[in-house]
A and B are shown apart, each in its own frame.
Chain A
Amino acid sequence: MVEAVGLGINTRKRAAIAFYIALLSIGSLLAGCQGRERNGIVVAGSTSVQPYAEVLAEEFAVMYPESSIDVQGGGSSAGITAATSGTADIGMSSRELSEKEQHLWSKEIAKDGLAIIVHPDNPLRSLSLEQISLIYSGQATKWSDVGGSSESKIHIVTREEGSGTRSAFSDLVMGDVEISPRAIVQDSNGAVKQLISDDLNSIGFLSLGLVDDSVKALMLNGVKATKENIINGSYGLFRPFLFVVNGEPTDLALEFIDFAVSEQGREILSTEGLIAEE
């Protein structure tokens, strides 16, 4: 009994020390290896592009089982920053590159419409660009100001500063007019959609590919927000989905981008609701 007590402490302590040393050496061993595995790349950025990139990556993995592609969100500007700094191998953007970003290599994989959405029970069916701009600048505060019947206040929902969707919306709809600071800011497409589907008096904008029954896409000057109308030019709210790389893409990154713009890749994106036709 007595011996057991003395022994117990020592072995336990030794075991703990040994375990710790083992952990540390595993750590340094791993640190010794050269970075991440060669067959892996990180694709990061726009939460609008992310779901489609996920699908592409899954299909890509079927063809190249050895490869490993990590798709992450973060937002368009984050993706471009990440590609610039090398944090990500490919950045995803749902807006055009700005002047400062022109030095980056980019490839458009598809176009996506931008839908103006409201609650499904909202009687409003169509708005003009000017009306949307009035709402978002905070000048039109009630539904009746834009032809609606309700006297309720409009709850404007926008995306955060840096979002590609917001930036595309600003360029296409607002021009030089600023979005009201009173607007509710949500940090992802999903959050915007959830909020609009809950709040009868809210209005927001969303990637057309993500619109489903829980929200209603408004017509623009009476033109429905559909793929066809974007292709034939009657619905003007759309932006490119870009893959961005710092310098010419190589190896796996190049293969993945080539896959995305291959016939198979375009077909996948098209089925998912994007405009990926040549």
Chain B
Amino acid sequence: MNTNDKTIEKIAKAIIWSAALFVLVILTAIIAYILAKGLPILNWGFLTQIPRNMGRSGGISSTIVGTLMVTAVALVIAIPFGIGTAFYLAEYTKESWATRLMRFSAESLAGIPSIVYGLFGFIFFVISLNMKWSVLSGGLTLSFMILPTIIRTSEEAIRSVPTTYREVSFSLGATKWQTISKAVFPSALRGITNGVILSIGRCIAETAAVILTAGTALKMPTSIFSPTRTMAVHFYILAREGISMENAYGTAALLIILIFLINVVANAAVNRLMEKGR
């Protein structure tokens, strides 16, 4: 090793270390800043009271409920359709131009900006179908948004199940349905769950697609036809309009904690489920 090599080695190492440090610093700066400003705001009252005076005072309970309702509607619709489609694509079709087209369109639609879904949802659900600003409109829009992601991740998970599992199951006299439900599905569960977790995160964090579909009402939603405001939208409006920085930070901190918890809890749940098998 000559001296020149040594210098390059050192420089490269320095650059890579500083890039990593930079990322770590930025990460901490964003997360720590929001948490430091937001955590002191979080208390029982903040979580359980309805926002008052446009969110200037009171809590954020209705936006928490709104977020959960919109996300739930989106998942209830997108999960069965997404996973079902993935199984159909992976297990029931032969590779052809039609499946390639479907995969390409799912892939492309997964990349379409959420604002385009928002625009579509606003004109289609809210106005054309007269569903007005509601949990349902918002949830449907989000379900359209996450459907391609769920199809793609699930299909990938199903395809990565070893062929031997299917062969074993068939050789033991299983029907196609038994093979899919008893051998393929359990093995693909982890991948499918990862896709679903990803989608839950996207639903909760989404602003552009829900602001004009679910609406911005602060009242507690009473049914899926009530208009509502999700936490991310609430944060956007509070911060953007300068209504209340404290409550904005509190909302953001809660969002970050929520997303963190969903990752941790879901991962733990999947691990426990899978423990038996592997």
- Any A–B CB pair closer than 8 Å: yes
> Measuring CB to CB, which residues of chain A are less than 8 angstroms from any residue of chain B?
5, 20, 23-24, 27, 30-31, 33, 35-37, 40, 42, 44, 47, 50-51, 54, 58, 68, 70-74, 85-87, 187-191, 193-194
B240 A191 Cβ-Cβ under 8 A = yes
Within 8 Å by CB of A33, from B133, B219, B223, lies B223
B53 near A: Cβ within 8 Å? Answer: yes
B241 A36 Cβ-Cβ under 8 A = no
8 pairs, CB–CB < 8 Å, chain A vs chain B: A20-B76, A23-B76, A36-B134, A86-B130, A86-B132, A189-B241, A190-B243, A191-B242
B127 near A: Cβ within 8 Å? Answer: yes
Nearest-Cβ distance from residue A16 to partner chain B, whole angstroms: 11
B74 near A: Cβ within 8 Å? Answer: no
B16 near A: Cβ within 8 Å? Answer: no
- Nearest to A47 among chain B residues (CB) is B241
List residues 86-138 of chain B with CB under 8 A from any CB of chain A: 126-127, 130, 132-134
Within 8 Å by CB of B127, from A30, A58, A85, lies A85
> Measuring CB to CB, which residues of chain B are less than 8 angstroms from any residue of chain A?
52-54, 72-73, 76, 80, 126-127, 130, 132-134, 212, 215-219, 222-227, 237, 240-243, 276
A73 B219 Cβ-Cβ under 8 A = no
Question: Which A-B residue pairs are the 3 nearest by beta carbons?
Answer: A190-B241, A70-B217, A190-B242
**Which residues from chain A contact B133 at a C-beta distance below 8 Å?**
42, 44, 72, 87
A5 B276 Cβ-Cβ under 8 A = yes
**Which residues from chain A contact B226 at a C-beta distance below 8 Å?**
36, 40, 70
- Residues A190 and B276 in contact in the complex (CB < 8 Å), given A27-B224, A33-B223: no
Complex alpha-carbon distance, A24 and B79, angstroms: 13
- Nearest to B226 among chain A residues (CB) is A36
**Which residues from chain B contact A194 at a C-beta distance below 8 Å?**
242
A30 B219 Cβ-Cβ under 8 A = no
**Which residues from chain A contact B54 at a C-beta distance below 8 Å?**
50-51, 54
**Which residues from chain A contact B126 at a C-beta distance below 8 Å?**
87
8 more A-B contacts (CB under 8 A) besides A72-B215, A72-B216? Answer: A23-B76, A35-B225, A36-B225, A37-B222, A51-B54, A70-B227, A71-B217, A194-B242
